[in-house]
């Protein structure tokens, strides 16, 4: 599944003419499964992007090898193939729709068992297919027109009947009617990115408007983070719009998209970390070590993001495979370093949130026990509730990748399209930022603080019943009764008062 998804991503998101994809497949059936080779092959597919090569050592491989899979094509779409194979005997290329792929996969599993038991088993290769052609040891150039009544997802596979080792190089491209270069399942992505970017701009303007009458440092930080996300979404919209009309991305555009995404993630991490340590809520100034950590992390992230954007652009603009490999391997190492930095921010944010929430809970209990002023108690309540809400939203942000996968599974189970799952996830992201603006900004919590203050000031007798009075104007008898009630509640001793005397 990882190999197939990576192949789809490389053929879609990075551009040779007309969303073409260059590939190199070396097919080696063996008896032992080398897991290291499988992992390295997956990394190479992700790292190389459009220009990818694969060298797999696979045990009992199916005689169907997919070149691409799950590409949405409409009736009248054109598929162009330019392949070069190194074969001792000719084999077959098959173009299968989603309905036609099921019987082939089932047959291949049955044949695989029979082949293992008896190598002389005759394989039936006459199942239905949308299109088929011979592939021999020479360069093959062909155009295939999709002649079907309805739109569907297609897979191009190589039928390796003789189970021989072979290599296959070349490229393929596809164009839907009306010059649409995106697969059908991604046609709606440009409009989704455009709508979410403007929705984030509106939310940022509302957040800035709230801060005009009651300023807060977190308003400015939240506005900056929303602006970065809106800019990142605009760059993504430009990317998908360019792919839709031209079928390829310029190296500059590809680097800008990567840089914008990294800058947005940096702004989001810094915002969450600052709130988790209590800046703007518990205290107004940062400690010296906290300032040093944030500044060094920002410098590290920005510098490495710029280098990654440069490598992304140069690797896409390189014609030679070997020259682009150097930049792509450097790009993968930079992404791994940034991933370590983001993990450090996530761990620090989590533990800081837990620590400050526990501290605020203890302060609230102490304030109630000592009967401090109602305003101070209400402020502690509001701050504690803010950290509770922040912890919930922080977990929601961390779990968003899992939520994305679950939404895709749910949409697939209900018979929907992939863009619906993407729309649901984008709505969830917008709601998270809206809740951050409403619940986590201290300036927006004034109504809750006033309500808590009125509740505490309105019924002082209720506080006296909930907690014992250990100081102030209480008489010795009242103090003894309160201590007596607390002791009975904790121990529930039926022999109270003790025989030794009341002073005990």
Over residues 213-227, mean pLDDT: 78
Q: Would you state the torsion angle of the CA atoms of residues 261, 266, 268, 272, taken in this order, to the nearest 10 degrees?
A: 160
Which of 43-52, 179-188, 346-355, 373-382 is predicted with the least confidence, judged by mean pLDDT?
Answer: 43-52
pLDDT: which is higher, 284 or 74:
74
Helix (H, G, I), strand (E, B) or coil at 96: strand
Residue 106 has a pLDDT of 61
Q: Alpha carbon of 418 to those of 20, 51, 411: distances in Å? A: 22, 26, 7
Cα 16 to Cα 171: distance, rounded to the nearest angstrom: 9
Domain ranges (residues) in the chain: 64-175, 186-442
% of the chain exceeding 70 in pLDDT: 63
82, pLDDT greater than 50: yes
Assign 197 a pLDDT band (cuts: 50, 70, 90): very high
Cα 51 to Cα 321: distance, rounded to the nearest angstrom: 7
* 177 CB-near residues (< 8 Å, 6+ apart): 74, 75, 76, 77
As a whole number, the mean pLDDT across the chain is 69
Q: Would you state the torsion angle of the CA atoms of residues 473, 478, 481, 483, taken in this order, to the nearest 10 degrees?
A: 10
Over residues 403-409, mean pLDDT: 81
- pLDDT 10s digits, 49-60: 233 333 333 334
399, pLDDT greater than 50: yes
pLDDT: which is higher, 425 or 456:
425
Helix (H, G, I), strand (E, B) or coil at 492: coil
485, pLDDT greater than 50: no
Residue 471 has a pLDDT of 44
Residue 156 has a pLDDT of 83
Assign 255 a pLDDT band (cuts: 50, 70, 90): confident
4, pLDDT greater than 50: no
- pLDDT 10s digits, 84-140: 777 777 778 888 888 887 776 665 555 444 444 455 555 566 677 788 888 777 766
Assign 272 a pLDDT band (cuts: 50, 70, 90): confident
Pinpoint the alpha helices (H) of 280-399. 288-317, 321-370, 374-398
The winner for highest mean pLDDT among 321-325, 383-387, 477-481 is 383-387
266, pLDDT greater than 80: yes
Over residues 201-208, mean pLDDT: 87
Q: Alpha carbon of 280 to those of 101, 233, 288, 496: distances in Å? A: 58, 28, 16, 50
Q: Check if the beta carbon of residue 163 is closer than 8 Å to that of residue 88.
A: no
Shortest CA distance to 53 belongs to which of 1, 7, 5? Answer: 7
Q: Would you state the torsion angle of the CA atoms of residues 282, 383, 266, 241, taken in this order, to the nearest 10 degrees?
A: -150
> Which tokens belong to 373?
């002023």
> Which tokens belong to 357?
């929430």
Half-sphere exposure of 299 (CA within 13 A, CB side): 6
Q: How far apart, in Å, do the first and last CA atoms of the chain sit?
A: 74
Cα 210 to Cα 262: distance, rounded to the nearest angstrom: 28
Residue 234 has a pLDDT of 93
Over residues 11-26, mean pLDDT: 39
> Which tokens belong to 306?
């710029």
416, pLDDT greater than 90: no
> Which tokens belong to 256?
């800008």
Assign 310 a pLDDT band (cuts: 50, 70, 90): confident
Half-sphere exposure of 134 (CA within 13 A, CB side): 6
Which of 106-115, 147-156, 200-209, 232-241 is predicted with the least confidence, judged by mean pLDDT?
Answer: 106-115
Sign of CA dihedral 45, 51, 57, 62: positive
Cα 231 to Cα 112: distance, rounded to the nearest angstrom: 51
SS3 for 415-431 is CCCHHHHHHHHHHHHHH
Q: Would you state the torsion angle of the CA atoms of residues 209, 261, 302, 351, taken in this order, to the nearest 10 degrees?
A: 80
Over residues 431-438, mean pLDDT: 83
295, pLDDT greater than 70: yes
Please tell me whether the peptide bond between 497 and the residue prior to it is cis, using omega within 30 degrees of 0: yes
Residue 232 has a pLDDT of 92
Cα 209 to Cα 298: distance, rounded to the nearest angstrom: 28
Q: Does domain 186-442 have CATH number 1.20.1070?
A: yes
């Amino acid at each position: 599944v990882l190999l197939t998804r990576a192949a789809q991503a490389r053929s879609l998101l990075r551009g040779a003419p007309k969303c073409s994809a260059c590939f190199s497949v070396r097919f080696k059936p063996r008896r032992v499964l080398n897991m290291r080779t499988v992992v390295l092959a997956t990394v190479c597919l992700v790292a190389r992007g459009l220009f990818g090569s694969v060298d797999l050592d696979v045990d009992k491989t199916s005689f169907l090898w997919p070149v691409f899979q799950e590409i949405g094509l409409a009736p009248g779409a054109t598929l162009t193939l330019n392949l070069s194979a190194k074969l001792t005997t000719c084999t077959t290329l098959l173009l299968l729709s989603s309905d036609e792929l099921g019987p082939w996969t089932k047959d291949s599993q049955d044949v695989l068992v029979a082949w293992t038991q008896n190598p002389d088993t005759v394989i039936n290769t006459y199942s239905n297919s949308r299109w088929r052609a011979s592939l021999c040891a020479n360069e093959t150039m062909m155009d295939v027109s999709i002649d079907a009544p309805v739109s569907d997802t297609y897979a191009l596979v190589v039928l390796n009947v003789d189970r021989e080792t072979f290599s296959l190089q070349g490229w393929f491209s596809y164009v839907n009617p009306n010059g649409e270069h995106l697969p059908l399942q991604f046609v709606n992505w440009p409009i989704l990115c455009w709508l979410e970017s403007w929705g984030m701009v509106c939310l940022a303007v509302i957040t800035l408007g709230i801060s005009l009458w009651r300023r807060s440092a977190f308003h400015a930080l939240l506005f900056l983070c929303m602006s970065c996300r809106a800019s990142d979404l605009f760059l993504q919209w430009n990317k998908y719009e360019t792919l839709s009309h031209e079928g390829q991305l310029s190296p500059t555009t590809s680097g800008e998209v990567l840089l914008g995404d990294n800058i947005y993630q940096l702004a989001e991490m810094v915002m969450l970390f600052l709130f988790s340590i209590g800046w703007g809520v518990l205290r107004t100034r940062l400690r010296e070590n906290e300032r040093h950590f944030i500044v060094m992390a920002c410098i590290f992230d920005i510098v490495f993001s710029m280098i990654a954007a440069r490598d992304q652009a140069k690797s896409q603009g390189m014609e030679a495979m070997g020259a682009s490999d150097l930049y792509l391997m450097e790009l993968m190492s930079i992404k791994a370093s940034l991933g370590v930095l983001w993990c450090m921010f996530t761990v620090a944010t989590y533990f800081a949130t837990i620590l400050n929430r526990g501290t605020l809970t203890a302060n609230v209990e102490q304030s109630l026990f000592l009967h401090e002023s109602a305003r101070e108690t209400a402020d502690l309540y509001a701050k504690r509730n803010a950290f509770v809400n922040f912890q919930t939203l922080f977990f929601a942000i961390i779990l968003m990748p899992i939520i994305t996968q679950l939404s895709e599974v749910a949409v697939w189970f209900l018979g929907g399209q992939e863009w619906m799952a993407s729309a649901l996830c984008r709505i969830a992201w917008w709601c998270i930022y809206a809740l951050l603006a409403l619940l986590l900004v201290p300036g927006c919590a004034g109504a809750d603080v006033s309500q808590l203050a009125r509740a505490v000031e309105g019924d002082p007798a209720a506080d006296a019943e909930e907690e014992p009075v250990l100081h102030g104007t209480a008489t010795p008898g009242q103090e003894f009764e309160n201590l007596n009630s607390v002791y009975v509640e904790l121990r529930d001793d039926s022999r109270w008062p003790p025989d030794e005397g009341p002073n005990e």
